[in-house]
Structure 1
Amino acid sequence: MEARIERVWSGGYGGTDSAPASEGTSGGRAPELTEHNAWIIGDDEEVIVIDPGEDAAGVLEIVADREILAVICTHGHATHVAAAVEVAGRDEAPVALHPADRLHWRMAHPDADAEIEMADGGRFDVADVQLEVVHTPGHTPGSVSLYCADLEVVFTGDALLASGPAPHEGEFPDFPRQLTAIGERLLDLPPGTRVLPGHGEESSVAAAMQRFDSWVAAGPSVDLG
């Protein structure tokens, strides 16, 4: 069975919906940062859930009866990890988090630990494809992206949105480091790689390459457009 990617929206529009990721860029609304993308990658039998957000029921509804192999958190902010323990717990799957984001994780889960401490270069297998962990710090110290060469996609969390580097609560915790991670780790991927972010619509590495200099020139502004 071929692996596929599904996007689950939750948050800013008062509900949860899903569609194949290829439909995520078509027309219509432009999600605000309050809306969150959870991603499901797998086939008809098994999946990995990336950034389940706050709506465990909505994510599990889309997963249905497929086995959850792991829940991977691109970073530790509560809006991305609040449902992680509940989603993983359904199938006794492990939760993966970079250890540098343990403090952020604790704000959402003071009594639970992530079972897998991710590191740069780590790998996860699902449905005959592989996800590679790419450490992309700046938004948080432990922010990671997940590159799937087989499907030519990278899940970037809040390291990189279609609009540029993502702030947190209106500010950039470490803008230079975030830009460095984008420039040295993400823009080094093939230009045709689809960028599937933690908020908003998908873009591509090629599009980020074209806009990178303008992000550098703009500095730590939250209106990167």
Structure 2
Amino acid sequence: MAARIDHLVTSGTFALDGGEWDVDNNVWIVGDDTEAVVIDAAHDAAAIEAALGGRTLRAIICTHAHNDHIDAAPALAATTGAPVLLHPDDLPLWKQTHPDRAPDGELADGQELEIAGIRLQVLHTPGHAPGAVCLYAPELDTVFTGDTLFQGGPGATGRSFSHFPTIVASIRDRLLALPAETSVRTGHGDSTTIGAEAPHLQEWITRGH
């Protein structure tokens, strides 16, 4: 059984620094017919569990700990038994949403997670959040970027725990080094490719200053 990528969109609220915004989040499921991982358990644990279709959930991987990417993680973990994995640099953000429930395991730069015969390589890409990570699946020609890189540029850096020069460095050094044909599957909105975004790096730097 070949590994595949399933996708659903869930809706809810992003809250930080006293503000709230309605958002639609991409939830990515990577696996085969028997097992899978979820990347960013956003808003609706029941919908995500339904999309799994009875497959064994091996892990709930958090690209970062803004509430809209983790709010359904504990509930999904409770019903499936899957561990929640987060880079430790994002624990302060995690605790804003889930003060009484810690993640189950840590993500580290260079770590490889295996699911359905393929690898997910953890790339630490701080900037949007201190512990932001992207997950590169070379066998699927795909990188899951959370809110680090979108179609059209970097993720937002105007709020607490974020830093524009850091996110640009993360994208330049970690993501734009990937093959140009690599699909970029984002935390919100449409997908893109590394090749489509790479030529615009200097524009982003100019725009951000």
| TM-score, L = length of structure 1 | 0.85
Matched, 1:6 2:14: no
Identity of matched residues, %: 41
Q: Is the 8 A contact 1:52 1:84 kept in 2?
A: yes
Structure 2 unaligned residues grouped into runs of 5+: 13-20
Name which of 109, 119, 139 aligns with 1:150: 139
**1:33: Cα distance to partner?**
7.9
Query: SS state of the match for residue 144, structure 2?
Result: strand
Give me the whole-angstrom Cα distance separating, in 2, the residues matched to 1:115 and 1:122. Answer: 16
Kindly indicate whether the alpha-carbon contact (under 8 Å) linking 1:33 and 1:200 is maintained by their aligned counterparts in 2: no
Q: Secondary structure of the equivalent of 2:149?
A: coil
Deviations 1:133-181, CA, capped at 9 Å, x for gaps: 0000000000000000010100000011112111167789200000000
Equivalent residue for 1:198? 187
Q: Does 2:65 align with 1:76?
A: yes
Find the partner of 1:62 among 45, 51, 76.
51
Instruction: Give 2:113's match in structure 1, choosing from 118, 124, 129.
Output: 124
Q: Mapping of 1:80-99 within 5 angstroms?
A: 80-99=69-88
Contact 1:7-1:40 at 8 Å conserved across structures:
yes
Matches within 5 A, 1:95-174: 95-167=84-156, 173-174=162-163
Which one-letter code corresponds to 2:36 in the other structure? V
Deviation at 1:86, TM superposition (A): 1.3
What residue ranges of structure 1 are gaps of 5+ in the alignment?
13-31, 221-225
C-alpha separation between the residues in 2 aligned to 1:97 and 1:111? Answer: 16
Cα distance in 1, alignment partners of residues 126 and 157 from structure 2: 13
Give the superposition deviation at 1:34: 1.6
- How big is the shift at 1:197? 0.6
Q: Give the total of aligned pairs.
A: 201
Q: Deviations over 1:23-68 (max 9, x none)?
A: xxxxxxxxx9821101000011000000011111111111120000
Contact 1:166 1:172 in 2 (8 A): no
What letter matches 2:94 in structure 1? Answer: W
**CA–CA distance in structure 2, aligned partners of residues 157 and 193 of structure 1:** 15
Shift of 1:92: 1.1
CA shift, 1:89, in A, is 2.1
Q: 1:178 to 1:81 in 2, by over 3 A?
A: same
User: CA distance change for structure 1 residues 209 and 172 in 2, over 3 Å: closer, same or farther?
Assistant: farther
User: Which letter maps to 1:147?
Assistant: Y
* 2:16 corresponding residue in structure 1: none
Partner amino acid, structure 2, of 1:4: R
Residue aligned with 2:199, SS: helix
Whether 1:179 and 2:168 are equivalent positions in the alignment is: yes
Moved over 4 A (4+): 168-172
Which deviates further from its counterpart, 108-117 or 134-143? 108-117
Partner residue of 1:189? 178
Which structure's residues are more often strand, by fraction?
Answer: 2
Give the equivalent residue in structure 2 for 1:214. Answer: 203
Paired letter, 1:3: A
RMSD: 1.7
Write the distance in 2 (CA, Å) between the matches of 1:33 and 1:173.
20
Which amino acid in structure 1 is aligned with residue 75 of structure 2? E
